[in-house]
Amino acid sequence: MNSMRKKSIIILVIAVGIIFLSFSIGNKKESHSPTSASKVSNILAAQPENDDRERQIAEYREKYSLNDKSTKYDDFMIQAKSGIVVDAQTGKVLYAKDEHKKLAPASITKVMTAVVALENIDIDKKVDISRRASLMEPFKVGMSVGEKIETRDLLYAAMMISANDAAEALAEGIDGRSETCIDKMNEKAELLELEETHFKNACGLDAVEHTSSSYDMAKLTYYALKEHPDIIKYMGEKDPYSIQKTKDNEAHYWYGHVSQTVNNFPEVIGAKTGFTDNARNTFIGVAQRQGRKFIFVFMGSDRGMEDSKALLDFGLRKI
């Protein structure tokens, strides 16, 4: 009898234990299920965004790819580490030397800054000049904290004299944070599949992982000429330029374009120069003859003027 009672008690304890364990497991499943559901929901929500991104990249590839099935000239003509010439109408690569070599771009970075500004800031908007922008070195307009400068004037300054204060102001002109502009610069580089390109700032100052290539910069310029043809007027203005004094700003003035290639060769309708001790001379040029445009780029040159002239002459013969 005692034995039977003991067995009954043991069975009862086991049964209670099983019920308790089942209840605990059920509660755990219930408490975890919302998290799991959220994860699934997030994945599903992200999928359309990823699909849209892939569609965008495919559209960009269709419209803005360069045709690089062309003759390559090893070590031909230029001293620069890398260079390229591209037909601006067809995207055909006419000349290339180490065009995918990843290098520091210096101030030719500002072409991407200008593209992002044109796509995100109204041309008439007056941009507040921050302390950070006013302190940028070394090339600058000399704007003071609190001035309000129109976007178009900042574009002329960034393109013509490679003003770092103007480029920083453009970067801040979207929402007051230069980081937003830099994110958009890298998003645009991703859409254009600029594989050697990553931006860390809007000016082109040397920084770890701030890189590009002649190929990528030519492709970016090809895109810019197609989507924002007005960019050429900012890149190509040769005459002295002035920002008139208003209640919002002081007067500012500079003596024409910094590029001697623009100033000396009438076929060159736009250019962006760059230089740092690390990058050496970098350059983007756009030239035209009888309505036909071509883009020429070099990076890493100690003979900038000679290399730009060599690529210009080549393009004029081939276009």
Write down the catalytic residue from 82, 107, 130, 178: 107
N- to C-terminal Cα separation, the chain: 110
Write down the catalytic residue from 82, 134, 162, 212: 162
> CA–CA separation, 138 vs 125, rounded Å?
25
Q: Which of 286, 306, 305 is nearest to 295 (CA)?
A: 286
Q: Is 301 a catalytic residue?
A: no
Task: Give 47's contacts (C-beta < 8 A, 6+ positions apart).
Answer: none
Widest distance between CA atoms in the chain: 117
Q: Is 162 a catalytic residue?
A: yes
Write down the catalytic residue from 81, 101, 110, 219: 110
Is 164 within 8 Å of 138 (Cβ atoms)? Answer: yes
Q: Is 110 a catalytic residue?
A: yes
Peptide bond into 266 cis (omega under 30): no
DSSP state of 48: H
For residue 199 the two structure tokens come to 């931006």
**Catalytic site positions:** 107, 110, 162
